[in-house]
Structure 1
Amino acid sequence: MTASVQTHSSVEDEKIMKDTDSTFIIGTDPSYKHEVVWRNAIGFLILHLLALWGTIIMFTGGVHLKTFIWTWIMLYLTSEGVTIGAHRFYTHRCFKGSPLLRAILIFLQTGAGQNSMFIWCRDHRLHHRYSDTDADPHNAKRGFFFCHIGWLMTKKHPYVIELGKKIDMSDLQADWMVMFQKKYYYYLYFLIAIFLPVWPAVQYFGEPWWKALLVVYFARYALQLNGTWLVNSAAHLYGTRPYDKNLQPVESWFVSCISLGEGWHNYHHAFPWDYKAAELSTHFNASAQIIEFFEKIGLAYDLKTASPDMVKNRIKRTGDGSHINLGNDEARAAVKAVGPLHPLNPTYTATYKDPVATLKLQGLPLYHEKDIFDLNSNNVTVTRNFGAI
């Protein structure tokens, strides 16, 4: 689960990082201990206690049916602000969108309350560039709790801070809507994430303000956060790797169901520019189908996707053998099926060992394989302990 790497504490290592020496290797240092930020830890504890209270009220008939339905509508819409907006559109540039669509996505992402679009995308680009190493904000090599929520309760690893400054964010810096939201985020957050969802429940559905706040804000917010966090945790730990066995992320139908299509994560990390974030858009992937709808009505265009041949070649070259069509019986037999089955992802618990990731400073692709190396040349610059990609 851990890699043998140069530790962050060495002065020489820091100099190498600053000089961006191509020989510097980043992995997971098992001796490094993250320092707890108690203000954040206590804040998340209070949030989840209030959310639990609100969830109990919601599911025991403590609110009107209209409030119940409204809460889930808001949960769904703001989640798409993250999945379609922050993730597939702004982080990976999987498609292009009209100004109206961009405004809608930023509005909904603000309602999700997962920090500004700029910061969300910076952290996620860093996560992809240095996935599952100490430069990854939510490094899955440090265990389920850390990559699920613990990373938000501790001080950032020095690599996260240093390399986060080197992530190219010029496209978002040139987007006035993104920068407007970043500048006024906390004001917009209070208005869009708290006031606008809670006010209708009080004004039109007859709920007391405290009950509306507990259900429509706290319960919705915590449920949404944990749904998103499962992509960082469960979808990096419990599943199969049919597209690239050398990547930590896995395929998980369960997480895909919870996160509107984000759980086909081995595919997504293999082809991060694909708007589907999955090989198919028809299995637990509502976000891909909505993007396709936006394309039909003219709000989205230039949808990017990996060609069937590219996917097929990747499966044959680096897959773990569990793919439904191109896998093999031996690899499938090595997988222990736990829980309900799904034809594309029959398990979310694999018996084989997780890969050990060590990366050079160039990291992994954010948009397309060719933004790091040319598959047709011998100049391959991204290497890990298992060799060149």
Structure 2
Amino acid sequence: MAPRIPDSSTDEQIQPIETGLKDKDNVYVDHKLQIAWRNVVLFSLLHIMSIYSIKLILTSAAWQTILFAFFLYICSGLGITAGAHRLWSHRSYKAKWPLRVILCIFNSIAFQNHIYEWARDHRVHHHYSETDADPHNATRGFFFAHMGWLLCKKHPEVKRKGANIDLSDLLADPIIRFQRRNYLKLVFLFCFFLPTVIPAFLWGESFWNAYFICSVFRYCFTLHVTWLINSAAHMWGQHPYDKHISPAENLVVSISAIGEGFHNYHHTFPYDYSASELGMRFNLTTMLINFMAKIGWAYDLKRVSPNVLKQRIERTGDGTHFSLVNNKSL
């Protein structure tokens, strides 16, 4: 099973379910953690190969190869942040078909499950954040939220509550349907084949180096950056918009995850296309969407009104918002 990522957008609060007890719907839940050994083996091999890739980066790789791997990291990251996350999971803006095709290709480079499955899990995450129905419930610890959730079978509540999430808009998109039908072929082409052959043919890099650096290492690195949104950004940082939820403003995660670390804001206002009050600052994803809006490929960009923002900060913020700290009005 390929990894998938990366809302608490509803007022519904579901309390965590203890093993062997009935939940609020009077359904008996007896869950015993089951290890997904296939995933354990595959992820172990991926990390061993990635460690070897670091040796190649330091000893024999051409500088163009390293730069190309970084370029692919940005592209694959945007396939998650601008595509699977802000466009398809939250519908925070609309995109014409050329942009949707590009983001679909970028998403295939990322190899974090096809858009339909990624968006499904992310919507469940927002509806039932930090409960047993959350696929990467951060209350189960850093490792579980970071990658442990992919190394074991899903909690039954994830499947049961997830069955109530409306996904009809995703199935109505022909680009999502095409990717879903041809996902493994697209992953092979865009995540592994092209990143290996392009460096070899354009600047004479060895296929060996190109494969390990531009495919394997870049893929593993992108996974960990994405996972930090589920782990670090749910544990460490400030809560200027809502002190009652665990997602936090984490600048380090936001810079590395090209704009996705302003997590207290995002979980408070999941419909905002920028996923941050700061707009384009520290937010490469917002820069891309703004550029696409200028050329007409992105439109209907949703944003939080200043009045709503001000009221929410004063009502539920923890007092760390810069306007309050510096005694400025919003």
Report the TM-score, using the length of structure 1 for normalisation.
0.77
Alpha-carbon distance change, 8 to 209 in structure 1, aligned in 2, over 3 angstroms: same
Superposition map of 1:192-271 within 5 A: 192-271=190-269
Measure the CA separation in 2 of the matches of 1:224 and 1:73: 12
User: Residues of 2 paired with 1:231 and 1:127: CA distance?
Assistant: 12
- Aligned twin of 1:55: 54
Residue 365 (structure 1) aligns with: none
In the TM superposition, residue 49 of structure 1 has moved relative to its aligned partner by 1.1
Contact 1:149 1:229 in 2 (8 A): yes
The answer for the alignment partner of 1:106 in structure 2 is 104
CA displacement, residues 139-167 of structure 1 (integer Å, 9 cap, x when unaligned): 00001000000000011000001111211
| Residues 265-311 of structure 1: per-residue CA shift (max 9 Å, x gap) | 00000000001101111321111111111100110011001011111
Distance 1:37 1:266, change over 3 A: same
Asked if 1:123 is matched to 2:121, the reply is yes
Alignment of 1:361-372 (within 5 A): none
Distance 2:68 2:95 in 1: 27
Among 155, 158, 169, which residue is 2:156 paired with?
Answer: 158
> Per the alignment, do residues 5 and 206 of structure 1 end up closer, same or farther by CA in structure 2, a change over 3 Å counting?
closer
Asked whether the equivalents of residues 16 and 130 of structure 2 are also in contact (C-alpha less than 8 Å), the reply is: no
Q: Which amino acid aligns with 1:7?
A: E
Q: Which amino acid letter does the alignment assign opposite residue 322 of structure 1?
A: T
Does the CA contact (< 8 Å) of 2:17 and 2:131 recur in 1?
no
Asked whether the 8 Å contact 2:146–2:230 carries over to 1, the reply is yes
Q: Give 1:9 deviation, angstroms.
A: 3.6
Q: Does 1:65 align with 2:76?
A: no
Cα distance in 2, alignment partners of residues 229 and 56 from structure 1:
24
SS of match in other structure, 1:39:
helix
Q: State the 1:208 CA deviation.
A: 2.3
Aligned-partner Cα distance in 1 for 2:182–2:17:
40
CA distance 1:321–1:14, shift in 2 (3 Å): closer
Q: 1:277 and 1:244 mapped to 2: Cα distance?
A: 14
Alpha-carbon displacement from aligned partner over 1:329-356 (angstroms, at most 9, x marks no partner):
9xxxxxxxxxxxxxxxxxxxxxxxxxxx
Give the gaps of 5 or more residues in structure 2. 1-13
What are the Cα deviations for residues 68-122 of structure 1, in whole angstroms up to 9, with x where unaligned?
A: 1111111111110111000000000010111111111111101100000000000
The one-letter code matched in structure 2 to 1:39 is R
- Unaligned 5+ runs, structure 1: 19-28, 330-389
What is the letter of the counterpart of residue 229 of structure 1? W
Amino acid paired to 2:225 = G
Give the distance between the partners of 1:95 and 1:64, measured in 2 at CA: 39
1:94 maps to what in 2?
92
In structure 2, distance between residues paired with 1:102 and 1:259: 20
What is the CA-CA distance between 1:5 and the residue it aligns to? 5.0
Residue by residue over 1:350-385, the C-alpha shift from the partner in whole angstroms, topping out at 9 and shown as x without a partner, is xxxxxxxxxxxxxxxxxxxxxxxxxxxxxxxxxxxx
Q: Deviations 1:203-236 (Å, cap 9, x if unpaired)?
A: 2222222221110111100110000000000000
Which residue is 1:36 aligned to? 35
Percent of paired sites with the same residue = 44
2:322 partner SS: coil
In 2: Cα distance, 1:291 partner to 1:211 partner: 33
Q: Name the CA distance, whole Å, in 2 between partners of 1:77 and 1:186.
A: 18
Name the aligned partner's letter for residue 74 of structure 2. Answer: Y
Q: Quote the residue 2:145 is aligned against.
A: 147
C-alpha spacing 1:151/1:66, structure 2 compared with 1 (3 Å): same
Runs of 4+ in 1 over 6 A off after TM superposition: none
Deviation at 1:199, TM superposition (A): 0.9
Bigger Cα Rg: 1
What is the deviation of 1:328? 8.4
Indicate the residue corresponding to 1:289 in structure 2: 287
* Higher helix fraction (1 or 2): 2
Are the equivalent residues in 2 in contact too, given 1:244–1:315 (CA < 8 A)?
yes
Deviation at 1:33, TM superposition (A): 4.9
2:18 maps to what in 1? 7
1:326 counterpart SS class: helix
2:305 equivalent in structure 1: 307
Q: CA deviation at 1:57?
A: 1.6
Alignment partner, residue 361 of structure 1: none
- Match of 2:310, SS state, is helix
CA contact (8 A) 2:33 2:152 kept: yes
The one of 156, 168, 171 aligned to 1:170: 168
Residue in 2 aligned with 1:277? 275
CA shift in 2, pair 1:322/1:210, >3 Å: same
Return the alpha-carbon distance in structure 2 between the equivalents of residues 161 and 284 of structure 1.
35
> TM-score w.r.t. structure 2 length?
0.91
Give the alignment's Cα RMSD to 1 decimal: 2.0
User: Which letter does structure 2 place at the counterpart of 1:63?
Assistant: A
SS at 1:204 equivalent: helix
